[in-house]
C-alpha cells in the first residue's frame, strides 16, 4: 500500500468514526427525550405509583406522600405536540443530562399553561429519570423554600406580644 492509498484510507476511516460519534450523540439525545416524554405520559395518565418509580432524587418523600400530593393537583402535562416543545440537550455526561424544554400544562390554577426551563435528568437503572422535585414544582405541589420558617417566626412573634 503506497502512502496516498494509506492516507485516503485513513481519511475515510476518520469520517466514518466521526459520523459514528455524531450518531451516538443523537441516539443519546433521542433516548433522553423519549424517557422524558414517557414520564410525562405516565403523569398525564394519572399513574402516580409508576411515576414515582420513574423519578430520581426522591429524598425523604415516600411513595404514599408523593401519590397523595399528585392526586391533590389538577395540573398535568398537555397532550400530543403541546406536551414537550423546544427540546434540546444542553449538557450530558453519561450519568446526568441538563435539557431545556417547554412543558405544556393543563389544569393550572394560574395563567401559566407551560413551564419553560432547564431540567436535570439522571441515568439510573438503564433509564433517564426526571427529578422528583421538578415534577412536584411543575404540578404546583412543592412548598416554597423557607415558607414554613417565615410562618413559624410570625406566629412566635405574635405570641410574644
Q: Is the pLDDT of residue 68 over 90?
A: yes
- For residue 146, count other CB atoms closer than 10 A to its CB: 9
pLDDT at 96: 97
Q: Is residue 100 part of a domain?
A: yes
How confident is residue 71, by pLDDT bands cut at 50, 70 and 90?
Answer: very high
Q: Is residue 153 part of a domain?
A: no
Long-range pairs for 111-116 at CB < 8 Å and ≥24 separation?
Answer: 113/78, 114/78, 116/86
Please give the C-alpha separations between residue 43 and each of 1, 6, 7, in angstroms, as whole numbers: 60, 56, 54
Count: domains in the chain:
1
User: How do residues 80-95 score in pLDDT, each as one tens digit?
Assistant: 999 999 999 999 999 9
Q: Which residues form the domain of 24? A: 3-143
Phi, psi for 97 (deg, rounded to 5):
-140, 140
Q: Is residue 151 part of a domain?
A: no
Q: Is residue 152 part of a domain?
A: no
Span 128-132, mean pLDDT?
A: 97
Is the Cβ–Cβ distance between 83 and 37 less than 8 Å? Answer: yes
User: How do residues 94-112 score in pLDDT, each as one tens digit?
Assistant: 999 999 999 999 987 665 6
Q: Is residue 150 part of a domain?
A: no
Q: What's 143's DSSP letter? A: P
Q: Is residue 159 part of a domain?
A: no
How confident is residue 3, by pLDDT bands cut at 50, 70 and 90?
Answer: low
Q: Is residue 26 part of a domain?
A: yes
Q: Is the pLDDT of residue 149 over 50?
A: no
CATH, residue 89: 3.10.450.100
Amino acid at each position: 500500500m503506497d502512502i496516498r492509498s494509506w492516507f485516503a484510507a485513513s481519511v475515510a476511516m476518520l469520517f466514518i468514526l466521526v459520523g459514528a460519534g455524531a450518531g451516538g450523540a443523537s441516539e443519546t439525545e433521542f433516548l433522553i427525550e423519549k424517557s422524558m416524554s414517557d414520564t410525562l405520559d405516565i403523569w398525564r395518565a394519572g399513574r402516580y405509583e409508576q411515576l414515582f418509580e420513574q423519578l430520581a432524587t426522591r429524598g425523604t418523600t415516600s411513595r404514599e406522600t408523593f401519590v397523595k400530593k399528585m392526586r391533590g393537583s389538577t395540573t398535568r402535562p398537555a397532550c400530543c405536540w403541546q406536551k414537550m416543545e423546544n427540546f434540546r440537550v444542553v449538557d450530558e455526561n453519561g450519568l446526568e443530562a441538563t435539557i431545556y424544554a417547554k412543558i405544556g400544562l393543563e389544569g393550572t390554577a394560574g395563567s401559566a399553561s407551560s413551564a419553560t426551563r432547564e431540567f436535570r435528568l439522571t441515568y439510573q437503572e438503564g433509564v433517564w429519570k426526571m427529578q422528583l422535585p421538578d415534577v412536584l414544582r411543575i404540578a404546583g405541589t412543592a412548598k416554597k423554600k423557607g415558607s414554613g420558617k417565615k410562618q413559624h417566626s410570625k406566629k412566635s412573634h405574635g405570641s410574644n406580644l
